[in-house]
Structure 1
Amino acid sequence: MRSVMLLGLALSLSAAAEEPDLDNGAFLHGDHCIECHMMDDHEALYSRENRLPSRFRINGQVSACVQALDLGWFPEEESDVAAYLNATYYRYED
C-alpha cells in the first residue's frame, strides 16, 4: 500500500513539474536574456526570417545561453524561458 501511495505522489509531482511557468519565464528573460539580446526592436530577433526553426531548438538555445553565461539555472527555469519565448514570439505547436 505504501509503495502505491509513493508511486502516486511521484507521478503527481512529476506531472506538476512538467508544466512551465510562463510568468517565471518572462521574469528570467527580462532579467537575464534582454541584456545580450537587446536591440532597437528586440522582437525582430525572434521574428527574423532565419529564426529558430522548432520548439526543440528554442530549448537547446536557452540551454546553450545558460551554460555559456554560467547562470546556474535549474532545468525547470530553462523550460520556463523556452515556453515563454514560444508562447510570446515563436508560437510553435507542441
Structure 2
Amino acid sequence: MDANQVALIKKIMELDFACIDLNLYLDTHPDDQKALRDYNYYSQQSRSLKTQYEQLYGPLMSFGEVPSQCNRFRWVDDPWPWENQY
C-alpha cells in the first residue's frame, strides 16, 4: 500500500470507530440531538471516503456492496488484513 492509500484507510477506520461509538451511545440516549448530528456527520464523511477509496483502490468489502468494475475480481489484489503493516 502506498502512503496515500494507508492515510485514506486510516481516516476511514477513525470515522467508522466514531460511528460505532456514537451508535452505542445513541442506543441508550436516543434523544440526544448533538450525538445524532455527530453520528450523521461522521457517517456521511465515512461513506464519502469509502466511495473515494473504492474508486481509487478497489472494494473495501466483498459482500456485494460494490459491483466489480473490471473483468477481474480485484478483492484479492490487496493485502489481507493480517498482512497490513500500518
Give TM-score scaled by structure 2 length.
Answer: 0.33
Which one has the bigger helix percentage? 1
Answer 1 or 2: higher relative contact order, Cα 8 Å, separation at least 6.
Answer: 1
